[in-house]
Structures are given as C-alpha cells and as structure tokens.
Amino acid sequence: MGLREQFTGWRPGLWAGWRPNGVGEQKPNHYRDMAKAAWANRNHPRYAWDVLTKGACDGCALGVAGLHDWTIDGVHLCTTRLNLLELNTADPFDPVVLSDVAALRGRTGGQLRALGRLGHPLRRGRGEPGFRLVSWDEALSVLAAGLRGAPPERVALYMTSRGITNEVYYAAAKSARALGIASIDSAARVCHAPSTVGLRQTVGVAATTCSLQDVVEAPLVVLWGTNPANNQPVFMKYLYLARRRGCRVVVVNPFLEPGLERYWVPSNVESAVFGTKMSDLHVPVRPGGDVALANAALKRLIERGAVDDRFVADHTEGFAEVHDRLADQDLDHLLALAGVDGPTLDAFVDELVRAGGAVHVWSMGITQHRDAAEGVRGIVNLALAQGGVGRDGVGLMPIRGHSGVQGGAEMGAYATALPGGAPVDPEHAAALAREWGFPVPDRPGLTAPEMVEAAGRGDLDVLWMSGGNFLDVLPDPPAVAAALARVPLRVHQDVVLTSQMLVEGDDVVLLPVATRYEQEGGGTETTTERRIVFSPELPRRVGEARSEWRVFADVVNRIRPALRPHFSWPSNQALRSEIARVVPLYAGIETLAVTGDQVQWGGRHLCTGGEFPTPTGRGRFSAIEPAERRLPDGAFVVSTRRGKQFNSMVQAAVDPLTGAGRDAVMIDPVDAADLGLDAGDRVRLRSDTGTYDGTVTLARLPARTLQVHWPEGNVLIAAGAEHREPASKVPDYNAVVTVERA
C-alpha cells in the first residue's frame, strides 16, 4: 500500500475502537519494542541493518528478503524478527564462563542466550566441572571416532529450524546417509509432521497448496488452531488487507486469541490508529474436537446441498464412503464431541456456503494431538467438498512457524523422507544411491521423540544435534535429561548456549557454527508458500564459528575419505547446483545469488484444474470416525499454548496480546468459580507425568479445559508411543490434569 492509499478508502466498520493506537488496551507496543531492539543491537548497528535489509528473515516461514516480500507493497517487519536480531549481532562469550557449569544451572534459555555467542569448540568429560577449550581438529576427531565406532543404528542426528538453510539440511541429510545413518530428523517432526502425512495421503503433496496472495484475495479465511498474531505477525497485515477487500474470518480455537479478535497493524496508518476487527466468528471448539467439528460441518454442507458436486465427481474419490459414514454419525453427538452448539456450527457453515471456498490455515492446535492427521484430513474434506484447492483465493495452508521446517523435510533431513520428500523405501533409496554414488539406508530411522527414548534405553552411542533443545521441546523434560545423560557421546553444534548442553554425559562436545547470514556463500530457506528465498552472505567472524555445510562435509571426509569427491563442494553455489539436480522440485535454486532472488516450486497453486499428484490424479476424501473421549470426574484437559516467543525462545515474560505471564494457568471464570479460585491464585496442576505450579488467569475457554505456556508446561506432557500421533509420531502436547491450590 502506498502512502496515498494509506489515507484513502478507510473502513470504519472494521475499526476496533476510537482510542488512537489502542492506548490503554492490552496490546503490543510495537514502536517501543522497535526502540528496544535498536538499543539491544547498539554494538553492531551496521551489521543489524544489513541483516534486516539484505537477509531473508530467520524467524517464521512467511518469508521476506530484506524488508520486502512477494505479497504486499511496503515494509514487511515484525518484533519477532527484531528480537532475533540480537543472536546475529552478539559477540562470543568467554569460554571461561563454562569452566564450571554449576553456576549456570537453573538459568533460563534467555539468560543463557544473553551470555553471547558460542565462539569456540569446547569439550567436557564425565565428572569434570565444566568445559575446556579444544581445537576444531580435536572436536571433529572425537566426533569422527565416535561415529566410526558406533553401529549406524546407534547414532542419531537432529536438526533444528534455527535459521538453518536448505544447503545445510541437504549436506546433513547426505552426510548421514553416507555414514549409513537413517536416524536423521528435524524440527518439523514436532510441529507439522501430521500435516505432511494428512496432505500427502489426500491431495498428494505435503505443502501449502496456495500462496499468501490467496489470503489477501480470499473471500473467507478459516484459522484452525493457529495464532498468527503471535507466531507470524505480518500475516495480520495480510488479513487486514484481505478484510479491506471484504474477506470474512472464522477462528476455530478453544480460545478467541485477543490478537485474532482485533489487531493494530503498526505499518498501516488506519489500522495503527484505530485497530482492526480481525474476525467475524469464533467457533470455540474443545481441544481435540476438531475432527468432530469438521465432520459436523461437512455433514451440514451435504444436507444443505452446498457441496461442489461437479468438482467432487470430476476430481475426487472417496466421497460416497464419507457421505455414508457421515449419515451414520449423529449431529448432536458430533457437536457434543466438538463442544460446539448448533447455532455456532450453522453460522460456520453459513460462512463456508456464502464464500464458496476458503483458505484454511492451521498449525499446532490441529497438529499436536493424538489424532492430528485425522484433524488435517477433516479440513481437507471440507476444502475438497467446495472445490477449494487449485484456484485463486482458496487453499490449504499448514502455516509454518519456522523458516527452516519446510525446507528441512524437503532436503531429506527427516527420518521418514528422502530429499524431495520421497518415502524411505528400497526403491527410492536405490534411486538416490545411484545419484549420490553410495548406498543409502532404505528404512525410516528414529524420529526425534524416538531418539530420546532410544537414548533412555541405552540404545544410542552418539547423538549429534544442530541446534534444538530436547529439554525444552519434548514431553517430560526430566526423562529427557536422564536420557541425554546416558548417551556416551553428545555433540551439540549451535550459535548459542542451551540448557541441554549442560546435561552431563561421558563426553560432550560443543561446536560453534555460523548463522545463516554469516554462512559462507549465503543460503536459502523455503517459505510456507513453497518459495525458495536467497539470503546472501553478510561476512562476520564470530570466534571460530564455521559454516555448517562445511562441518558435515568435513566429518564425512574424515570417516570415509573414499567419498571425498561427493563431499568436496568448492562453494555452496555448487551445493545449490547439486540440490537442483537431486531434488528436481527445487529447480531454479542454482540461479539464486542476491537478495530478493527466489523461485516458488509448484507456482502460485498446486493441484490446479483439479489435477492432484496422487496415484489416481484425484483428491481423496477420508472417512473419519472422531475419537470418543471421557474425562474423569473433576479432571481438566490442559493444552499448551504460545506466548511472545519464537519456537522455545521466550521473548517476553508477559504476552503483550493476552497480558498473561509465563506461568499463567488459563481457566474459564465459571470453572474457576466452581473450584473457588480467583485470578492471581496459585494452583498446582497434576498429571500422570508431573506437576506444574502456576497462577490462575481468567480467560473464556470451553468447560474443563486449561491452557499453559509451552515449553514450561511440558512437565505435564506424557512421552511414549501411546501419546503420539501414530503415523507422524508428533507428541500429543495435551494432558489430563487435576487442579489444586498450590
């Protein structure tokens, strides 16, 4: 939007109120936060400016090059990115800090990050009080010896999404397979793995089918279990522009997130001054009630004759079975399972019918459940019933929270997929082996939660991690710590210190690595709309930090020198050329060289013209039976939620959108009154796994449901196969708890 347009065509009907910039309201103060970020980066203002104006954002996966994206005119910037900037301008800490780790125990992730960048290779043996400085050569020799001495099935490699580029994921994926290691996994496992499973089975492709431009052009956006106001802030600007064009917004979530009710878009004059009402309907589904809700909505669409019969007949399969199964499912029972009343369901269906299709957006509220893949399939059913794929203004969007997760899985840094998303089976492994010139494991490896369980059983000899913090992101942190302590050799390569590094082991090695901006030759990320975006090298030396793609190649060359020709990329431009060859989906990546260069695989839409990349060429409906859930008397379901944070990095002690502190136990006022509780009371939640003490915070929630922040609430979450979605292995980040006064 140009400046002139900023002052024309205002929509008072969308205004949140008359107070300028929502003064006095519970809302973020974006301008103050910008000033804070500028101050925090005062030691390297020039470098910070370069990162902002030339780099591809290392925050969420909306994607931006410099300060501009491919969806809107004007500036694309948010406070999440500004807060991450500190990681890119920090100086290395003195390794003496780690000579006695006892002093660091109990520090929060934020306090550890505030120490500065990890700048030197370090090593600590069991019984030693802390880490000692070692050379890169010693550190890599230790890792190489560990890998040489361990059977590949007793080795695991985990990659987080911390700004890691496609080039690094690819190098890691190839290196692991060259060493016979099948157990390589990435952060996508604990977020959108069920979307990958559900979408591949139904529409044949594990990615967003539309583009962010379709959000702006949508007649209706349905937000399922997602809160972009916190997690992808600039998405709210897209929604604002969409609403100016008449777009309706439905929020399907237990809690009407305040930022989805109204939001002040800081870079738009009208919205910054008056705020914008961001949604038209809230569907307060119970946690885990999404499958029943999707079934109920489809049943009503059918009853109202609002299905796109032609699209269904010409381009899909399985509808007759779904139709028959839904006929057997009692609507009142579905509503009871969903926790939604009939009028609200009808209002939702009215929106779908009026729009004739929608952009369906979802994230962890759908995917971090035991029946998450069913939830995804339920949403796909609704989209297919309306012919809502492959055309402008509609689509399926599993919105990604991190700039690395889409590319990580597509580069094959995934236990259940080879590069290009190919299944791990003998046929595809053999094809890849011909391409790469060495044998490739042909069975899926351990997923992230399975790695920790293997470690706990004593079945892992080497755990090699790039970033991440299993202590934060996986259920039952005490069990995770005990498991990590059992691994004979752990290697953590990262840009900062994390609490898992402090867990004692026989041998723990820390490797300092470059950020995506410092990385030699720059690198690419893949955004949530499948856009491969180039971020140039912004040279900066931080201690002895090295580019990760070189680290992976170095390790393989030490262990299997015969493979040196396959791991001797002279530059990462050569690496990109290899990716283009091995992953045809990524054709064009080899041409990217400067800020703003990008290529969107698949184009604006996938499945255009109703042509689905499934074996039959048709989109598949799924007949789904919602799970029955019985809550013991007096018990509650607690779900984990995000506040002002990026991944597990907490960026504010109080969420500016909700006003909730990190220890908030959000509970409905009616439930609180039944328990004799009031705002500010201290309570203890008790699950079969652990206890959690927090502060009562009142919020409108479905009866007998609670919300606590993630990762703090993970002490309540159970680990183990029975607490995971069976196909994708994503943990169920919900628990049944009792509530008592603390």
Q: Which stretch binds ligand SF4 (CB under 6 A): 57-65, 182-190, 489-497, 502-510?
A: 57-65
Q: Which of 16, 37, 60, 399 binds ligand SF4 (CB under 6 A)?
A: 60
- Minimum distance, C-beta of residue 627 to ligand SF4, in the bound complex (Å): 33
Q: Which is nearer to ligand SF4, 471 or 532 (CB)?
A: 532
How many Å is the Cα radius of gyration of the chain?
Answer: 25
Assess contact for 733 and 702: CB atoms under 8 A: no
Residue of 186, 314, 204 whose CA lies nearest to 609 = 314
Minimum Å distance from CB 366 to ligand SF4? 20
Q: Which of 48, 51, 65, 78 binds ligand SF4 (CB under 6 A)?
A: 78
How is residue 553 written in tokens? 């190649």
Query: Residue 266 CB: number of other CB atoms within 10 A?
Result: 22
Cα distance between residue 130 and residue 110, in whole Å: 20
CA angle 638, 339, 371 (to 5 degrees): 60
- Residue pair 46/515 in contact (Cβ under 8 Å)? The answer is no
57 touching ligand SF4, by CB under 6 A: yes
**Best CA proximity match to 610, nearest among 600, 620, 601:** 620
CB 67, min distance to ligand SF4, A: 9
> Of 400 and 723, which has the nearer Cβ to ligand SF4?
400
With beta carbons less than 8 A apart as the criterion, state whether 406 and 527 touch: yes
Question: DSSP class of residue 41?
Answer: T
The nearest distance, CB 648 to ligand SF4, in angstroms, is 15
Q: Which stretch binds ligand SF4 (CB under 6 A): 34-42, 75-83, 307-315, 584-592?
A: 75-83
Q: Does 65 bind ligand SF4 (CB under 6 A)?
A: no
The rounded distance, in Å, linking the Cα atoms of 114 and 595 is: 29
* Contact status: 393 vs ligand SF4 (CB under 6 A): no
Tally Cβ neighbours within 10 Å of residue 21. Answer: 17
3-state secondary structure of 307: coil
Among 27, 30, 54, 76, interactor with ligand SF4 by CB under 6 A: 76
Peptide bond into 478 cis (omega under 30): no
By CB atoms closer than 10 A (0-12, 13-18, 19+), residue 661 is middle
Chain Cα centroid distance, residue 189: 9
- Compare residues 120 and 402 and give the one whose CB is closer to ligand SF4: 402
Which one, of 646, 591, 635, lies nearest residue 740 by Cα? 635
In whole angstroms, give the CA distance from residue 290 to residue 287. 7
CB under 6 A: which stretch of 172-180, 202-210, 228-236, 480-488 binds ligand SF4?
A: 228-236
660 lies in the site for ligand SF4, by CB under 6 A:
no
The DSSP string of 384-434 is HHTT-SSSTT-EEEE--SSTTHHHHHHTT-BTTBBGGGB--SHHHHHHHHH
- In terms of DSSP H, where are the helices of 150-276? 166-178, 193-202, 212-217, 228-231, 235-244, 258-261, 269-274
User: Is residue 80 part of the contact set for ligand SF4 (CB under 6 A)?
Assistant: yes
Q: Which is nearer to ligand SF4, 401 or 488 (CB)?
A: 401
CA atoms of 542 and 357, how far apart (whole Å):
50
Instruction: Name the minimum Å distance from CB 57 to ligand SF4.
Output: 3
Size of the site for ligand SF4 (CB under 6 A): 14
The least distance separating ligand SF4 from the CB of residue 345, rounded to whole angstroms, comes to 32
- Using CB under 6 A as the binding rule, the residues of this chain from 705 to 734 that contact ligand SF4 are none
Query: Closest approach of Cβ 367 to ligand SF4, in Å?
Result: 19
Measured at the CA of 578, the angle between CA 574 and CA 582, to 5 degrees, comes to 175
- Considering the complex, what minimum distance in angstroms separates the CB of residue 466 from ligand SF4? 20
Q: How far apart are CA 429 and CA 418, in angstroms?
A: 8
The reply to whether omega before 626 is within 30° of 0 (cis) is no
Task: Give me the least distance between CB of 58 and ligand SF4, in Å please.
Answer: 8
Examine residue 64 and tell whether it contacts ligand SF4 (CB under 6 A).
yes
List binders of ligand SF4 among 446-475 (CB under 6 A).
none
Give me the least distance between CB of 249 and ligand SF4, in Å please. 18
> In whole angstroms, how close is the CB of 81 to ligand SF4 at the nearest point?
4
Of the pair 76, 605, the CB lying nearest ligand SF4 is at 76
Q: What is the dihedral of CA 267, 269, 273, 278, to 10 degrees?
A: -70
State yes or no: residue 234 binds ligand SF4 (CB under 6 A). Answer: yes
Shortest CB 83 distance to ligand SF4, Å: 9
Asked if 81 touches ligand SF4 (CB under 6 A), the answer is: yes
CA distances from 268 to 2, 7, 579, 653 (A): 10, 9, 39, 27
* In the complex, residue closest to ligand SF4 by CB: 59
| 3-state DSSP assignment of residue 373 | helix
**Nearest-approach distance from CB 62 to ligand SF4, in angstroms:** 4
| Cβ at position 231, least distance to ligand SF4 in Å | 8
Q: Which of 232, 528, 614, 622 binds ligand SF4 (CB under 6 A)?
A: 232
Q: Quick one: 76 or 377, whose CB is closer to ligand SF4?
A: 76
What does the block give as tokens for 627? 């799970």
Which region among 74-82, 417-425, 543-551, 649-657 touches ligand SF4 (by CB under 6 A)?
Answer: 74-82
For residues 475 and 723, is the Cβ–Cβ distance under 8 A?
Answer: yes
Q: Which of 1, 48, 77, 479 binds ligand SF4 (CB under 6 A)?
A: 77
Is there binding between residue 233 and ligand SF4 (CB under 6 A)? Answer: yes
Query: Which C-beta is closer to ligand SF4: that of 600 or that of 608?
Result: 600
Q: What is the nearest approach in angstroms of ligand SF4 to the Cβ of residue 323?
A: 40
Q: Shortest Cβ distance from residue 241 to ligand SF4 (Å)?
A: 14
Q: Work out whether the CA dihedral 233, 237, 242, 246 comes out positive or negative.
A: positive
Shortest Cβ 208–ligand SF4 spacing (Å): 14
The window from 59-67, 376-384, 530-538, 657-665 that contacts ligand SF4 (CB under 6 A) reads 59-67
User: Residue 156 or 239: which CB sits closer to ligand SF4?
Assistant: 239
> Does residue 59 touch ligand SF4 according to CB under 6 A?
yes
Among 16, 37, 52, 62, binds ligand SF4 (CB under 6 A): 62
| Half-sphere exposure (Cβ direction) of 657: Cα atoms closer than 13 Å | 24
Which residues have C-beta within 8 Å of that of residue 345, sequence separation ≥ 6? 283, 293, 296, 297, 300, 335, 338
Binding segment (CB under 6 A) for ligand SF4, from list 71-79, 219-227, 432-440, 619-627 = 71-79
Q: What is the largest CA-CA distance in the chain?
A: 71
Contact region with ligand SF4 (CB under 6 A), list: 78-86, 487-495, 530-538, 676-684: 78-86
Q: Is the CB of residue 247 less than 8 Å from the CB of residue 218?
A: yes
Report the residue number, 248 or 531, with the smaller CB distance to ligand SF4. 531
Smallest gap from Cβ 625 to ligand SF4, in A, equals 37
Alpha-helical (H) ranges within 463-534 are 470-473, 477-485
Residue 30 within binding range of ligand SF4, rule CB under 6 A: no
Q: Which is nearer to ligand SF4, 58 or 518 (CB)?
A: 58
CA distance linking residue 76 with residue 88, whole number of Å: 19
Of 230 and 493, nearer to ligand SF4 (C-beta) is 230
Closest CA to 84 of 46, 56, 118, 120: 56
The answer to whether the beta carbons of residues 34 and 41 sit under 8 Å apart is no
Contact range with ligand SF4 by CB under 6 A, out of 54-62, 121-129, 134-142, 419-427: 54-62
- Residue ranges binding ligand SF4 (CB under 6 A): 57, 59-60, 62-64, 76-78, 80-81, 232-234
